[in-house]
Structure 1
Amino acid sequence: MPGLLVKFGDYPLHHGGVGAIRSLGRLGIPMYAITEDRHTPAAVSRYLTRAFPWPTTGVEDPAYLVEGLLRIGRRIGRPTVLIPTDEEAAVLIAEHQRELREADFGGFLFPPVAPALPRRLASKQGLHELCVEHGLTSPASVCPQSQEDVEKFAATARFPVVAKNREAFQRRQQPAVNGTTRINTPAGLLELARDWGERPGVILQEYLPREQAEDWVVHAYFDTDSAPLALFTGVKVRSWPPHAGMTAMAYVVDNPELADLAARFIKEIGFTGVIDLDLRFDRRDGQYKLLDFNPRMGAQFRLFESESGIDVVRAMHLHLTGRPVPEGEQRAGHRYVVENIDLPAYLAYRRSGYVTPHAPSRASGTELAWLAADDMLPVFIMLARFVRPGAKHLFQLWRTNRRGGTTTK
């Protein structure tokens, strides 16, 4: 049964999509993908059966996006497993399950999650509320409803604080802040808030100092009973921008306590499907604090594979097509590197002197995000598209990251 990579928005250099195409394609599964155009790394992979160029922004009318998916499904012509790579795709699939599942070509296959749950999990406010409801620790947070609320917060809060867009989809429209923004002073907060309007679309959180914290990730696939069929834990060594962005290098590290915490939370909220969690371990109080819940495949999912050859995408495909998922321990000590962002991340971390205590001293193996001996074209297309605009973007992030007032993701 084929797989279809579903993405909405303009981000052609997505290594997670290439990883999913390779993971299933190497097993002989026909792979299809929605791409920005025919010249993206995913579109040129030798393991891709066909690309469907479809430029989108992620803010189109849901009916338009559903009809577009159905049109692609008819061109594939048989039942197909959907693999979302962003929150917009995961939410759309969850909220329009009947139309997508009962299509005339045999329909799409995807986990039968509660329709409203992915949108709530992708929301910073919704996630914080779920953490409070179920007793999972997350950073102390406030969602101001007015400028007056911001002023009251500024007068009493302990700085620095972190500001994030409250809803996941704001980044596609008019984001209040550019990703994760550290604000060092009350005056800095009030100045930034001038552009937020009368109803600020932000969540303000406590700042967890990097010197006292470690960044951990959990990737897993859960069945219809919210039981894990594949569950992996790892630690971030570097991210870009530093300490606030996407994974640049990470290691597989066995963490039974974290695995149990994640599994219990998923069971309590009743989620089914693939997850990508970001947590920060706060050494000051010894607690893991949930920062992000991505209700879909994470870009660095290929860091994790069990000894039986299972990653979360393979687990999902096996389960949705009615086959058992082989058990197996994760490959401890394995390393994942995203080549185009790890070099600037390495230089930034070397400058700061930060070292992740739980990172192994030596890797048992390395998975590169782009370079693969059996699939070389994606890395060349990545370099061609990355060199000029990508380098300019990295410089802008670096410059912003070094400003005194804010730190931007």
Structure 2
Amino acid sequence: MRVNNEQSVALETASTAFVLGLFDTGLSIVRSLARAGIEVVGFGPDPREIGFKSRFCRAIGSPHPVEEPRRFLELLLTEAEKRRTPPILFPSGDPTFWFTSRYREELAERFLFIVPPPPAAEAGLNKRVQYEMASRAGIACPDTYYPASRDELADIVGEIECPAMVKPYFSHLWQMRIPGSKGRVAGTPEEILASFDEAERAGLQVMIQSLIPGPNTAIVVLSAYIGRNGKPLALFTHRKVRQWDPTIGSATLVRSERIPGLVETGLSLLEAIGYRGQCAVEFKQDARDGTLKLIEINPRFVQQNYLATRCGVNFPLIQYMDLTGQEPQPRTSFDEGVKWLDAIPDAMAFFYHHQRGELTFPAWLMSLRGSRAFPKFAWDDPLPFVYAYTWKGKLLKGPLWLWSHRRHPDSGVA
């Protein structure tokens, strides 16, 4: 037993945390729990997952949770039998969230965990269900089309405002079958049709969605943990500063910030769908009228999770306490102006904007001030960072690597 300064109560740490997935998000969960004195075991199917190098967990190679779910289940049950108290499950991505929801009855015999009821769990994974539920709840969404066939799409493609995104119903299936992207941005009707054909060949259901006008800084995120009692036990908001790639890429620099209306809008959506557990609700403020429009619900921790921990809202620890009956105090206040930085992709974003006269080198350096949270680097846990950026000599070849990747994939401009 130890004292948890954040919660100002005695913290019981008898239960082991099982973190499912050990890429950046999983690593942030591992560190947030282990630094509170909790034993952590991590599971991942890919030995390149950087959490395998962390000193804060014992990492175990595992079957893939989607491709071999029964074998993954058997491994978890075997590991659970070695412990005197039920381990706590922490899914770190869509595949492990799907697995935990799909096998909730079998897992409940040996583990403590929280996933939303099946309809809300489906909404967390299926983007079409998300938008339909959000619309019924009065939440603004971008214009979205759901063609059932290429012929149906061909009949309406001329009506779709471009640029538009060809977006999968299930993000984790797209990333498994078409790695390296979240979808396709199409600038013309012909490109929409070509991207639809690509998805159809991969056996993926997709929607066509108009892009919301406005800069990347208009993208804001509410992270929330809705406890077993149905009440919010932790809330945190942040704003995107930059991303790579610039159109539909992942965040490279974000800032903690209280954003007017975001908490109220996000919680009204979560309440409408009956959500429980950890999630992040992403919106973009439409430049035309200032309306917050839903981008997506992520039914899990996000890559920037450690920023919340750094700002005083330790989501994994609060979830651990809730599931072990320790009644954590709600945390809705946090430090503002703290930044999370993914340095190498952010340098690539700088090259892109600098070449277009949108960002000077001094301004870029100034924008990095206040960076206190990082996806890979930590002074007390350096090996994940070293491994990530020395794999195949990436760090040693840093300048050449950045220069060779300076071209935006869709721009054709060096």
TM-score bracket for this pair, using the shorter chain length? 0.7 to 0.9
Q: Which residue of 1 aligns with 2:298?
A: 294
- Cα shift at 1:123: 1.4
The reply to whether residue 99 of structure 1 matches residue 106 of structure 2 is yes
Identity across aligned pairs (percent)?
A: 23
What is the distance in 2 between the residues matched to 1:393 and 1:194? Answer: 32
Aligned residue identity for 1:221 = Y
How far apart are residue 324 of structure 1 and its match? 2.6
User: Normalising to structure 1: TM-score of the pair?
Assistant: 0.85
Structure 2 CA distance for partners of 1:171 and 1:121, relative to 1, 3 Å: same
Choose which of 356, 378, 401 in structure 2 pairs with 1:372.
Answer: 378
Instruction: Check conservation: 2:243, 2:349, Cα contact below 8 A.
Output: yes
Residues 194 and 361 of structure 1, relative CA distance in 2, 3 Å threshold: closer
| Corresponding position: 1:6 with 2:1 | no
Say whether residues 1:51 and 2:59 are aligned partners. yes
> In 1, Cα distance between the equivalents of 2:46 and 2:164?
40
Cα deviations by residue, 1:241-298 (Å, 9 ceiling, x for unpaired): 1241221110001114101111111111111111122211112121111112110111
Question: Could you tell me which amino acid in structure 1 is paired with residue 376 of structure 2?
Answer: W
Q: Take 1:230 and 1:66, find their aligned partners in 2: how far apart are those partners?
A: 29
Query: Which is worse superposed, 290-299 or 88-97?
Result: 88-97
1:119 is aligned to 122
5+ residue gaps, structure 2: 1-14, 360-365
Match of 2:72 in 1: 65
Q: Is residue 185 of structure 1 aligned with residue 188 of structure 2?
A: yes
Q: Are residues 259 and 144 of structure 1, via their aligned partners in 2, closer, same or farther at CA, if it must alter by over 3 Å?
A: same
Structure 2 partner of 1:407: none
Q: 1:163 maps to which residue?
A: 166
Partners of 1:22 and 1:214 lie apart in 2 by: 30
Q: Separation in 2 of the partners of 1:379 and 1:365?
A: 16
The answer on whether the counterparts of 2:66 and 2:99 sit within 8 Å (CA) in structure 1 is no
Correspondence 1:90 to 2:59? no
Aligned to 2:138: 135
Offset at residue 354 of structure 1 (A): 5.7
User: Judging changes above 3 Å, is the alpha-carbon distance between structure 1 residues 263 and 66 closer, same or farther for their aligned structure 2 residues?
Assistant: same
Q: Following TM superposition, by how much is the alpha carbon of 1:383 offset from its aligned partner in structure 2, in angstroms?
A: 1.1
Distance apart, 1:197 and its partner CA: 4.1
Deviation at 1:125, TM superposition (A): 1.0
* TM-score, L = length of structure 2: 0.84
Q: Tell me the CA shift for residue 5 of structure 1.
A: 0.9
Alpha-carbon offset, residue 342 of structure 1: 1.8
Following the alignment from structure 2 to structure 1, what is the Cα–Cα distance between the partners of residues 271 and 293? 18
Q: How does 1:230-309 map to 2 (within 5 A)?
A: 230-305=234-309, 309=312
State the secondary structure of the residue aligned to 2:335.
coil
Distance 1:286 1:29, change over 3 A: same
Q: Distance in 1 between matches of 2:412 and 2:289?
A: 29
Judging changes above 3 Å, is the alpha-carbon distance between structure 1 residues 211 and 306 closer, same or farther for their aligned structure 2 residues?
A: closer
8 Å CA contact 1:38–1:44 kept in 2: the answer is no
Amino acid at match of 2:44: T
Q: Matched residue of 1:108: which SS?
A: coil
Aligned-pair CA distance for 1:149: 1.4
Is 1:145 aligned with 2:148? yes
> Does 2:388 correspond to 1:382?
yes
CA RMSD of aligned residues (A): 3.0
Deviations, residues 221-242 of structure 1 (Å, cap 9, x unaligned): 1113432111011100111212
Residues paired across the two proteins, number: 388
Structure 1 residues not aligned, in runs of 5+: 405-409
Q: Any idea what the Cα deviations from partners look like across 1:3-31, whole Å, max 9, x if unmatched? A: 11113xxxx6x222221111110111001
Give the AA of the match of 2:78: R
AA aligned opposite 2:184? T
SS in 1 for 2:376: coil
User: CA, structure 1 residues 352+260, in 2 after alignment: closer, same or farther (shift >3 Å)?
Assistant: farther
Provide the C-alpha distance between the structure 1 equivalents of 2:345 and 2:253, rounded to a whole number of angstroms.
9
- Work out the CA distance in 1 between the residues paired with 2:392 and 2:410: 20
The equivalent position to 2:233 in structure 1, one of 229, 239, 250, is 229
- Deviation digits for residues 19-69 of structure 1, max 9, x if unmatched? 111111011100110134666421221211x1111252x532543332232
Equivalent residue of 1:43, what SS?
helix
Residue of structure 1 equivalent to 2:205 = 201
Indicate whether 1:42 and 2:85 are aligned: no
Provide, for residues 99-151 of structure 1, a one-character-per-residue CA deviation record: whole Å limited to 9, x for no partner: 1111xxxx211115202422332212111111112111111101110111111
SS in 1 for 2:328: coil
Deviation of the 1:379 alpha carbon: 1.0
